[in-house]
Amino acid sequence: MAESRLIQGRYRLLERIGRGGMGEVWRALDESLGRQVAVKCLKPMGPRHEPSYLRVLRERFRREARVAAALQHRGITVIHDFGESEGVLYLVMELLDGRNLSELLEDTGGLPLSLPDILEIAEQVAASLAYTHRQGVVHRDLKPANIMRLADGTVKICDFGIARLGDSLSYSSSFSSRLTGTGIAMGTPHYMSPEQIGGGPVDHRSDLYSLGCVLYEIATGAPPFDMDDAWAVLVGHRDTAPVPPRTHRPDLPEAFERIVLDLLAKDPDDRPPDAADLHGRLLVLEPPDR
């Protein structure tokens, strides 16, 4: 999409600030309210893509808008508007002033974050997941790039692009099958749960596994299965026990390591029962001067 394009006579695209599998994100001006926002647009597709593929992508984008707009929590990115303009679907979100966890790790040169920062991030993400899971929503793509820490310290989960309703009332299993059947990647290998990799039933405990991968990475500097080959990473998640985090970083509290390893259990039944339980365990770990 061309820079400075006006969408629906209201949102003027100013600068592209992100690009991903689902599309592009632009810093934009909402000319009706005089505020800056973020606008996510479905990436333009060339003629090489078949109409059925495009239809699935467009339906997934619409689903992202509906699911995300229904979530109202300080730890979830706010959705302002949604629509279609000249064949391009768009999602208008709050413009966040901060850095995602991948960028924070880049800022440190790949070194892990401090323990107070790790615990603060973990506690806020657990609280946000507890809320989303109560709404029946499973994120399914939780990773450092989808977790933003704002300038004021608030941590927000972003991009419910492949989230699905856990109770399957609004979206049928046949639709989910059509999504995966197109070959569209459903998740990111370094943070995918074993059941997600195996194509089995996925519920809120899959998000807990992915959060375990995220916490492992920000605590040690690398994800639990840090291989270049995607297939090797997937096999690691499915078959290999992770190296305990304190092997890489002995100063981590044993209780924190226990939480991370519990989150990374292969069997969902062996993980914490829900994000609320995890949140309570993390609060106990917070340093006394926090």
User: What positions carry a catalytic annotation?
Assistant: 141
| Beta-carbon contacts of residue 75 (< 8 Å; ≥ 6 apart) | 124, 125, 127, 128, 131, 154, 155, 156, 157
Please state, in angstroms and rounded to a whole number, the distance separating the CA atoms of residues 92 and 37: 7
Answer yes or no: are the C-beta atoms of 202 and 138 closer than 8 Å: yes
DSSP lists the bridge partners of residue 100 as 148
Amino acid found at 155: V
Closest CA to 210 of 185, 183, 237: 237
158: tokens are 């972003």
